[in-house]
Structure 1
Amino acid sequence: MSTELPEYYFRVRENGAFVFKVDTQNRHRRIEMDQIAVVNTRNGEVKPHGDRTLSNADMAAIEDWLADRKALLAARDIDDILRAVDHLNYTAHWVQTRAEEDQLDMVTDSLLLAMHDLRTLLVRKKAERLMKGD
């Protein structure tokens, strides 16, 4: 574990983070975190907390975090999709080897509708990409 704390702490929330400035140089030698901003990862909006004015260093740290966070979330999205492909394969194997009739009755319609919806979207998007290439 590092002995030096970062200058900023980002408390992640669903669509962004609360940004805190970390202070260890106070007379009580305690860790103090002063909220300085709220960041929205969807639209990139940065709102200073209260009447605070963000410094150039604050904004640079927030912009760096925002870029890193968006890249991480994008990578997680792809990983989730690849896991979904694995689950579809596991499901196909389950259907073929172990599924009981009552279990199939419980899941067949939901799976067929979801797969039909997904297939329709994938075919449309692929056709759009192919048309752009022409």
Structure 2
Amino acid sequence: MGTELPDYYFRVRENGAVVFRVDTENRQRRIEMDQIAVVNIRNGEIKPHGDRTLSDEDVAVIRDWMVDRQEVLAERDIDDILRSVDHLNLTTQWAQSRATDDQLESVTDALLLAMHDLRSVLVRRKADRLLKDTKSG
């Protein structure tokens, strides 16, 4: 652990985080974490913990964290999708070269339905983008 701890700690949750103020300036020189808020990234809500009133600095730090966190999550979404493309390619190779008839029988319908659904959404969204581009250009 470094000598300087941050003033705030964000315990990540599914939709945001629990926010703590970090304190090492006490008699015992122990690390104390005081919960100050709960953050919901999806709706942008910051709820102070208990009767607490958040300072302008608290809110600014939390909002900065929310922006950074949304950027990280967006990057992860794209990375996950690109990994899915890799998995589809690996699945294709497996189906062509190694899959037994019984294995194919157990996965074919689910794969075909998922791929049909994905294709439909992608084609519709691409058409929407093309129409938007022709109307604006």
Instruction: Tell me the amino acid that sits aligned with residue 27 of structure 1.
Output: R
Q: What does the per-residue CA deviation read over 1:40-66, in whole Å, with 9 as the maximum and x for residues that have no partner?
A: 011110000011110011011101110
**Superposed, which structure 2 residues align to 1:1-134 within 5 Å?**
1-134=1-134
Aligned residues: 134
Partner-residue secondary structure (3-state), 1:42:
coil
Q: CA deviation at 1:104?
A: 0.2
- Runs of 4+ aligned structure 1 residues displaced above 3 Å come to none
- Which sections of structure 1, spanning at least 5 residues, go unmatched? none
Partner-residue secondary structure (3-state), 1:53:
coil
Q: What does the per-residue CA deviation read over 1:32-90, in whole Å, with 9 as the maximum and x for residues that have no partner?
A: 00000000011110000011110011011101110010000000000000000000000
Partner-residue secondary structure (3-state), 1:35:
strand
C-alpha separation between the residues in 2 aligned to 1:21 and 1:56? 14
Q: What does the per-residue CA deviation read over 1:90-112, in whole Å, with 9 as the maximum and x for residues that have no partner?
A: 00000111010000000000000
C-alpha separation between the residues in 2 aligned to 1:117 and 1:25? 56
- Which sections of structure 2, spanning at least 5 residues, go unmatched? none
Identity of aligned residues (%): 72
Partner-residue secondary structure (3-state), 1:63:
helix
TM-score by length of 1: 0.98
Instruction: Tell me the amino acid that sits aligned with residue 14 of structure 1.
Output: E
C-alpha separation between the residues in 2 aligned to 1:110 and 1:52? 50
Q: CA deviation at 1:28?
A: 1.2
Instruction: Tell me the amino acid that sits aligned with residue 118 of structure 1.
Output: L
* RMSD of aligned alpha carbons: 0.6
